[in-house]
Structure formats: structure tokens, C-alpha cells
Amino acid sequence: MSKSELSTNGEAFEGETLTHSPQFAQRVSSWVERRLRALADESE
């Protein structure tokens, strides 16, 4: 698989990984929440 194929299929692959790993999805979403909160605090 070439690099362009990888980047094109990145989203599909990512979604597959998250679907197969709920723990990973939870970790990512909680990390995203923390990042968003930190950014919101900084911008005030």
C-alpha cells in the first residue's frame, strides 16, 4: 500500500480501529474534552 493510499483510507481505518476498541475511543474523547477545556480557559 502506498502512502497516498494510506492517507486516503486513513479515516476509514481510524473508524475501524475505534469501532473495535471502545476503550481507546473513550481515552481519545476524554483527552479531547480536556484539551478543549484547556483551550477555553486560555482564551478567556
Contact 5, 12 (CB under 8 A): no
Contact 34, 41 (CB under 8 A): no
Domains of the chain: total? 1
Domain extent at residue 15? 3-43
Instruction: Taking residues 19-34, report their average pLDDT.
Output: 82
Predicted TM-score (pTM) of the model is 0.45
Q: What is the mean pLDDT of the chain?
A: 72
